[in-house]
Structure 1
Amino acid sequence: MKLIKKILLVLSFLIVLVVIVGVSYLQYSKPEYEGELTLGTINKETTVYFDDYGVPHIYADNQKDAMTTLGYVHAQDRLWQMELMRRIAPGRLSEIFGGAALKTDRFFSGIGIDENSAKAVAQLDKNSPMYILTQAYLDGINQYIADGITPVEIRLLGIEQEKFTLKDVYNIFGFMSFSFAMAQKTDPLLTDIRDRFGADYLKDFGINGELGTQQLESFQGKYKEYSKISKSVANLLETSPVPAFIGSNSWVIGGEKTKNGKVILANDPHIMYSQPGTWYEAHIVCPNYEIYGYYIAGTPFPLLGHNRDYAYGLTMFENDDVDFFQEEENPNNPKQYKTPEGYKNYTYQQKNIKVKDSVDVKLNVKTSKHGPIITGLLDELKTDKSVAMYWIYTQQKNQILEAVYELSHAKNLESFHKSIELIHAPGLNIMYGDAKGNIAWITSGKLYKVDQSVNTNFILNGANGIDDKKAFLAFAKNPQAINPPWHYVYSSNNQPTPIDGYLYPGYYLPKDRAIRIDGLLSPKNDWTKEDVSKMIVDNTSATAQTIVATMTKHLNPAELSKTEKEALTVLQTWKATHNLEDIAPTIYNKWIYFYLKNTLEDEFGEENFNLLLSTHIVKQMIEAQTQNANSPWWDNINTKEKKETQLEILTKSFKEAIAALENQWGSGVLQWKWGKVHQVTFQHPIGKVKMFSKFFNVGPFEIAGSNEVIDNQLFIYSNDAIIPVKGGPSTRRIIDFSDVENSWSVLPTGQSGNPMSKHYSDQSEMFVKGKFRKMKLNKKEIEASSTKLVFKPVKQSVK
């Protein structure tokens, strides 16, 4: 008994000791926001003021010293995030997560981002300011790795730190560019629909009158379950520890329409939510340069930024820059594929994927002239199909780093415009406003036309010599509007109007947000920053009332229960808002889910139906399809003895939706408040493990907004009681050139990625309530409200 007591006492002591050591380490690992440090490669003393939200304001004698300092302070707040970001594109997650990340590594290591990055680095001018400043930024990161405190996540996973390189920077941009694309999830699904059911089933998706007869004859009836490609890629992006870009809003109002006669720019890029969030804010001031920028972890120049002269933001263009080709292999030699000139040999590249606590995995990447054969890179595809992926990003010269440098160093609208031509992929809507009164919307992307018989929404024929012909367009043909006579520009991932009669193909989001933004901007001519701050969190749907009117007219009140009648009344009096106290959004979105399920699942099957819910095309179809009484989708193909109608499906779906809500929230309709249902948690990759979730995750919070309103809070339609919000505004920014020093912003959680920092989640309450804080430019104000961290070169002593 005494022995047992001694053992228990020793164990208790060891547990307490471990806790004390752990807490001490966490306290020790906090970022340093004041004091003095040595920074080896700077030439002169540099001062950093960390304001009341942890934003570093870097005052340096020259840009090189400023960039080295930026790299250091960025790393002390976001080194763990940087580590993740640089590993995904070259297929190196398995080194830290083990076999669980192997599927992701197999795919990304095979699609050519890493090789493209190496080629881009080799072509750089090593004497250019862009190269010198990027290396300075990397020096700062690497000095933090050498001298700073290792983040707790890196300690937990036992990661051996390596120096950051220029290729890492390009790989980070490469993954972010891939994450924009919708083709990977959409084209294979649409191909399956066409090949199984025919063109009539595609009309409700907006693909009407675009199908070439030759292509239909080539593929009709040859159903190959291409949707497995969609499923595999969707799963990789869904489980990725790095968030994907998904949409965005931005508008710029000319001085003619503002109260103070100066330009106002608003931007809220939509990205899948994560913790830490995507952006790191930093303000750099040198004698000949100033920028307040938003940086992706591990990249030296901001994708969003402003100063006293100009401001810029971005949204996703959503143009189609990915095509898939079904290769026709030589029946006598599987190492060859057919071309108009005869059979050609595939090329092969051997790759080695390191897996933590396991043996290395060998990967043999097969490539045709169209690109890598992705069906060999996806574990779920046990198939002999060889589908190649052609992607503009890897097929064209990569100048993304030069472009981002130029955007953040523009001298005027002309130089800003010129720099956008360097971005071949991804396609972006780049928004601009300046102190001189200029406003602009300019799209990036290497755009091209294909033969009239070709529809790039489908898997294409790699052998006929027609489907892969591309006529690249001059940059001047990219959609744009510069100082238009209506005095505002906007973008919300909607499809641009035709240029020279050509409608650019893509994976555009519904017109809802565009209609709402345009409808608010057009009539008003006295806009203020305060007005814009209300507009950027507007949650009124431009189409929900029309959809409700269409769907409810098919309901017979005499056939409804008491609860169903109450729910119907709530819907019919709804003003299409999505506030926390609203009840109608809960009913509406549940009904939309069951309507989609009862309309589409019989054709798709449960697995592919759930996959379809994660694409843009399902959002595009709702308004038009609910109005189409003759849509073939209404019929349930599993009930051979009858043909279902629009009336039957909508009534059945409404009753199922109300029954589900009664089961989940009780029979009192007034209990079904949107805030109870619509919630967000900002999840850390390690926070997925339950024992670490409370420490690393931020939330949950009730949150207003919804799909396809200006306050776009993305969720996947489902029958879950609580709808988890997947993504939304990664920041909200409002730059007012009548008072540029008091422009506003907010991040979803906080500036720091260190859980022990007071800036880890100090903006989360502000964000979910639609509030803002200053982006400070005034030095006296910054000094008065900040801590001070001084970096000294090696030749000077540190106190």
Structure 2
Amino acid sequence: MPANTTASSDAPGAAGAKTGRKKGRRARLIVIVLVLALVAGIGYGAFWSVSTVRASYPQTTGSVKLDGLDANVDVKRDSYGIPQLYADTDADLFRAQGYVQAQDRFWEMDVRRHMTAGRLSEMFGSDQVETDAFLRTLGWRKVAQEEYDKVLSEETKKNLQAYAEGVNAYLKGRDGKDISVEYAALGFTNDYKPSEWTPVDSVAWLKAMAWDLRGNMQDEIDRSLMTSRLDAKQIKSLYPEYPYKEHRPIVEQGAVSPVTGKYDPEAKPSDALGTGTGTGTGTGTGTGTGTVQGVTEGLNTQLASLSDTLDQVPALLGPNGNGIGSNSWVVSGKYTTTDKPLLANDPHLAPQLPSLWYQMGLHCREISAKCQYDTAGYTFSGMPGVIIGHNQDIAWGFTNLGADVTDLFLEKVSGKGYLYDGRTKPFTTREETIKVAGGKDRTITVRETNNGPLVSDRSGELETVGQKAPVTDGAPDRAEGYAIALKWTALQPGHSMDAVFELNRAKDFTTFRKAAAHFEVPSQNLIYADTKGNIGYQAPGTIPVRLKGDGTMPSPGWTSEYGWEKDPIPFDQLPYEYNPERGYIVTANQAVVDEKNYSPLLTKDWGYGTRSQRINDLIESKIKDGGKISTEDMQKMQMDNNSAIAALLVPELLKINISDKSVREAQKLLEGWDYTQEPDSAAAAYFNAVWRNVLKLAFGNKLPKELRVKGECLNVRRADASGPVDEQNKLVRECGMRDADSAQPDGGDRWYQVVTELMDDQDNDWWKTAGNRRDEPTENRDQLFARAMKDARWELTAKLGKDITTWNWGRLHQLTLKNQTLGTAGPDLLQRALNRGPWNLGGGEAAVNATGWNAAGGYEVVWVPSMRMVVNVGDWDKSRWINLTGASGHAFNAHYTDQTDKWVNGELLGWSFGTNAVARSTTDTLTLKP
């Protein structure tokens, strides 16, 4: 089944049904295991031959007839199976792209489109009904259809249609077992047959991408939940202001001009239009009467339930929206050894198998009005075009901007509708029928207010939201209760699919910005370089302007005082840079611009700039005194393992007098350590264990239990923790938590900033902890640090052994690549057939080499640089790239994980682009014929 989609139920009578579902699921998995064992040739005779295993592998040589082509298309693959396509028309190019991606990745594409449409139950049965219901409520597929029907350009629709025709040409006449081994397994338990691909299937993927990059919704929920136990000052200390003086924003000068009303990179902030006081900047602290928390204390239980409901949605890009980040930077030719710009990008996403990315080149043999593309880079299987990469004139990269594009609204509801400005307005409703493999169909009713769909309708707890709410601060009569609506920019039709093709065709910064204007959701940082030596940056996206509040807490939905203005921030007011004097641009999820110099508000919840500042420092150290940066230097920067929090804490940890010999032995590991987190580093292992225990002691045990842990073991649902006590205890031990409901910080760079601001306050209340049978209470910072060092010593003794000479970071910090459907659950045999690993990794949380781990759940790698590229602008064939896994989605294919070892070691592959270079690297050629 898909990752993170196991639904739970606490309704009366659910226990028996749950048991039945588990038995049925277990029986299906046993059958699937046996089938995969046969397919993999690991037992049970010769029922499945090697030729059967290879039946789904792509044909890569010879020729194939592809109906609809105007002329031949050549598919040239290198030794890693990466295809470069050559065609004479746009339609042929995208038709071939659809065919080739279906060859390698159709199972992934099929599961993905069922997820985005809320149709997982059609493939995997009743276990997915609750997930489907929530996704139908959000209506991704519905909005995608509206985009295709009413918004997208005719040219874009032609490209989407050609792509779909290519996919369907591949599917024609093939049984499931001929497409992928997973269908062969699924066929023994389900009569599911893949249907034809449609253009809307491609468009809907952008909604899933936008969902995982949606910004601060979890922070919005968490802040509200904190009010049950913490006061406003304490909450503020856990969400400190962005440290602009220490961590530079992306754009360091410029403002909205009072003359033109547009963003001007040369304008001085003192002359800016409405600087710091414009509409939508917000004035609330997140805990007062300007938010829902000021009118109802009954909200917290329901928000905790919503948080759990959100966790059921498959996390395609990262672990439930947490830790999503990326690095990108571009250096001007005046500071490079090539005399042309160098551009690097490595998006940080969930470690998936196959990788989210698919490398490809799309080439017109001759650029003309009928064939406009010569581009290469990273694509999404299931969607035409190149997402990140370069064409013959420009290169571009993405990181998540993190704009606040979602708000939760508490609605006063009744059977007749919802209250708004003293009047009851009728809901907008629609019915959705969920088809279930092997079960009965389920029909749900989706209700919407002017603030969006009622996401609370999908939770039994949320249906009674607000029942305990006191009538205070102007709250309406709540006789029939409250509900929670989600307002999100991605639920409005937009032009993002148009932007993909426009980026692929862009020739200069003007056309690049024109394309960026259409990249509405998700809001991304776009960096740029061209063959003429220019570099640039643009912040795009549909970003709302709030009437009141700052988006950090849920808002009242029953009054027009809140909500959004009709129009978002105009594109021409969004920050950009072009050839800045400093000669380079860094984006790594830090603040885009100092909010004192810019209005209206983009978000209050930036990443805190640890990675971005490290990259800035590395560039400056290289170019000072006339130094130059090479392609190899860019590559080394991507693998930088430095721990900023270690540089802050270790000097203080070493000052503490430790009397326990075993703990002192571990403390000595930190002496002389350079704060780099190499896989073989014992110091890195011990320090990260200390850091985790500092967080647990100082904060975790003081946070509300509703803030359920968010980490790899957070894939465990309430249903999984409702079994026998010994199973629950096992869960607790594996997760390293006191109990299954404890709330722990994730350890990201927000927590770096929290601790940084507390370091000089030895007696702050956060350092004070209660004693236990083993330890005395702590009264100050150093006492807490001493206990954390002790706890870390015994934790690693249990995990790595008593002999500290055998410790190393990589043994704790491991990456296992999991097939995102049948490889995420079930017996070991099934997982061994589909999954790969583990690999011992260096790097860590908030390092440039961002192999992220979640301190709430342990040290396992939960997000990674999902690909890495260094583009040598103008001399394209000297560019380099790597993917996390490989080109193929077929579990036993040679290209399933053939790039992973090199990725682990920080290596990059050569990236051929020009016709001659591609010819030299080609090992297989397939000709697609009309």
2:124 corresponds to: 97
Query: CA–CA distance in 2 between the matches of 1:492 and 1:564?
Result: 37
Which residue is 1:7 aligned to?
A: none
Quick check: 1:308 aligned with 2:392? yes
1:383 CA displacement = 3.1
Indicate the residue corresponding to 1:682 in structure 2.
817
Deviation at 1:484, TM superposition (A): 0.5
Q: 1:390 aligns with which of 481, 484, 487?
A: 487
**Preserved contact between residue 709 and residue 857 of structure 2 (Cα < 8 Å):** no
1:129 to 147, 155, 177: 155
In structure 2, relative to structure 1, the CA distance for the partners of 1:240 and 1:407 (3 Å cut) is closer
Structure 1 residues 105 and 626: CA distance shift in structure 2, 3 A: farther
Do 1:182 and 1:615's aligned partners in 2 also have CA atoms closer than 8 Å?
no
- 1:588 corresponds, among 669, 687, 691, to 687
User: Match for residue 223 of structure 2?
Assistant: 190
CA distance in 2, matches of 1:781, 1:93: 42
**C-alpha deviation, 1:195, in angstroms:** 4.5
| Aligned counterparts of 1:85 and 1:103: Cα–Cα separation in 2 | 17
Tell whether the 8 Å contact from 2:63 to 2:926 is kept in structure 1 after alignment.
yes
Structure 1's 103 and 620: CA in aligned 2 closer, same or farther, altered over 3 A?
farther
Match of 2:726 in 1: none
Residue 426, structure 1, aligned to residue 522, structure 2:
yes
Shift, 1:307, TM fit? 2.6
Structure 1 residues 711-750: aligned runs within 5 Å: 711-718=849-856, 720=858, 723-737=859-873, 739-750=875-886
1:224 aligns with 300
Query: Residue 556 of structure 1 is aligned with which of 654, 657, 663?
Result: 657
Cα deviation code 1:148-174 (max 9, x no counterpart): 532111232233111111211121111
Shift of 1:92: 0.7
How far apart in 2 are the matches of 1:240 and 1:57? 26
Out of 337, 356, 361, the position equivalent to 1:259 is 337
- Distance in 2 of aligned mates of 1:608 and 1:774: 45
1:509-588 alignment, distance < 5 Å: 509-523=607-621, 524=623, 525-550=627-652, 553=655, 555-557=656-658, 560-588=659-687
Per the alignment, do residues 381 and 80 of structure 1 end up closer, same or farther by CA in structure 2, a change over 3 Å counting?
A: same
**Contact 2:151 / 2:494 at 8 angstroms: preserved in 1?**
no
Q: Tell me, which stretches of 5 or more residues in structure 1 are unaligned?
A: 1-11, 795-799
Q: Deviations over 1:488-507 (max 9, x none)?
A: 01111112222544453143
Aligned equivalents of 1:321, 1:615: Cα separation in 2:
24
Q: Shift of the alpha carbon at 1:718?
A: 4.6
Give the equivalent residue in structure 1 for 2:552: 457
Asked if 2 retains the 8 angstrom alpha-carbon contact of 1:510 and 1:708, the reply is no
CA contact (8 A) 1:513 1:710 kept: yes
**Quick check: 337-346 or 606-615, which moved more?**
606-615
CA change 1:625–1:664 in 2 (3 A) is same
Pairing partner for 1:157 from 170, 186, 210: 186
SS in 2 for 1:464: coil
Number of residue equivalences: 770
| Residue number in structure 2 paired with 1:8 | none
Aligned partner (choices 437, 451, 457) of residue 356 of structure 1: 437
Given the alignment of the two structures, is residue 507 of structure 1 paired with residue 605 of structure 2, yes or no? Answer: yes
Match of 1:327 in 2: 411
Whichever residue aligns with residue 92 of structure 2, its letter is D
**Residues 232-311 of structure 1 mapped to structure 2, 5 A cutoff:** 232-237=309-314, 246-286=324-364, 287-288=366-367, 289-311=373-395
After superposition, the C-alpha distances for 1:741-783 in whole angstroms (9 at most, x for unaligned) are 1210001111111123211111111010100111112333433
Partners of 2:874 and 2:501 in 1: CA distance: 26
**What is aligned with 1:5?**
none
Cα pair distance change 1:674/1:483, threshold 3 Å:
same
Aligned twin of 2:168: 142
Report the Cα distance in structure 1 between the residues aligned to 2:571 and 2:442, rounded to whole angstroms: 43
Alpha-carbon distance in 2 for matches of 1:606, 1:196: 9
Q: 3-state DSSP class of the match of 2:709?
A: helix
Contact 1:85 1:297 in 2 (8 A): no
- Show the counterpart of 1:337: 418
C-alpha contact (below 8 Å) 2:324/2:400 kept by paired residues: yes
- In structure 2, do the counterparts of structure 1 residues 719 and 493 end up closer, same or farther at CA, with 3 Å as the change threshold? closer
* Counterpart AA for 2:426: N
- Name the stretch that deviates more: 189-198 or 278-287: 189-198
Local SS of the residue matching 1:103: helix
Deviation at 1:182, TM superposition (A): 4.0
**Contact preservation (8 Å) 1:590, 1:719:** no
Q: 1:455 to 1:650 in 2, by over 3 A?
A: farther
Give identity over the alignment, percent: 26
Distance 1:113 1:125, change over 3 A: closer
Deviations along 1:451-487, whole A, 9 cap, x unmatched?
Answer: 5x61311111112322214373221222322210111
Show the counterpart of 2:577: 481
1:618 CA drift (Å): 4.5
Distance 1:584 1:468 in 2: 50
Kept after mapping to 2: 8 A contact 1:593/1:719: no
Select 1:597's aligned residue among 696, 700, 718.
Answer: 696
1:30–1:756 contact (8 Å) kept in structure 2? no
8 Å contact kept, 1:443–1:480:
yes
DSSP 3-state at the match of 1:448: coil
Gaps of 5+ in 2: 1-37, 242-282, 368-372, 466-481, 711-743
> 762-771 or 577-586, which moves further after superposition?
577-586
| 3-state SS in 1 of match to 2:57 | coil
Residue 108 of structure 1 deviates from its aligned partner by 0.9
- Cα distance in 2 for partners of 1:221, 1:382 equals 16
Whether 1:32 and 2:59 are equivalent positions in the alignment is yes
Check whether the contact 2:462–2:483 (CA below 8 A) recurs between aligned residues: no
CA RMSD in angstroms comes to 2.7
2:50 — aligned with what?
23
Can you list the C-alpha shifts for 1:610-637, whole angstroms capped at 9, x where unaligned? Answer: 1364596546534334554464444458
Q: Residue 505 of structure 2: SS of its match in structure 1?
A: coil
CA distance in 1, matches of 2:294, 2:885: 51
User: With structure 2 as the length reference, what TM-score do the two structures score?
Assistant: 0.78
Which amino acid counterpart does residue 562 of structure 2 have in structure 1?
Answer: D
Letter of the structure 1 residue corresponding to residue 204 of structure 2? N
Distance 1:425 1:586, change over 3 A: same
Residue aligned with 2:494, SS: coil
Matched residue SS, 1:726: strand
Q: Flag the 1:61–1:347 CA change in 2: closer, same or farther, 3 A.
A: closer
Q: Which stretch of structure 1 is more off in the superposition, 108-117 or 143-152?
A: 143-152
Name which of structure 1's ranges 519-528 and 225-234 shifts more when overlaid on structure 2: 225-234
The one-letter amino acid paired with 1:450 is R
Judged with a 3 Å threshold, the aligned counterparts in structure 2 of structure 1 residues 374 and 551 are, in CA distance, closer, same or farther, namely farther
Match of 2:209 in 1: 176
Report the Cα offset of residue 424 of structure 1: 2.1
Cα distance in 2 for partners of 1:679, 1:181 equals: 28
CA distance in 1, matches of 2:360, 2:237: 46
Structure 2 distance, partners of 1:169, 1:15, is 36
The yes-or-no answer on 1:649 pairing with 2:784 is yes
Q: Is the 8 A contact 2:284 2:290 kept in 1?
A: no
The AA in structure 1 aligned to 2:347 is P
- Which whole-Å CA distance do the structure 2 matches of 1:619 and 1:299 have between them? 38
Q: Specify the alignment match of 2:143 in structure 1.
A: 116
> Is contact 1:509-1:620 (8 Å) kept?
no
Summarize deviations over 1:548-588 as a string: whole Å, max 9, x none.
Answer: 335555x333xx31221122232243211010121122112
Question: Taking structure 1 as the reference length, what is the TM-score of the superposition?
Answer: 0.91
CA contact (8 A) 1:195 1:219 kept: no
Between 232-241 and 432-441, the greater mean CA deviation after superposition:
232-241
1:163-188 CA distance string (max 9 Å, x none): 11121112111111101124332211
Q: CA deviation at 1:320?
A: 0.8
In 1, Cα distance between the equivalents of 2:329 and 2:297?
45
Residue 624 of structure 1 corresponds to 757
C-alpha contact (below 8 Å) 1:537/1:710 kept by paired residues: yes
User: 2:233 maps to what in 1?
Assistant: 200
Q: Output the CA distance in 2 between the equivalents of 1:125 and 1:82.
A: 22
Between 182-191 and 414-423, the greater mean CA deviation after superposition:
182-191
**Offset, 1:223:** 5.5
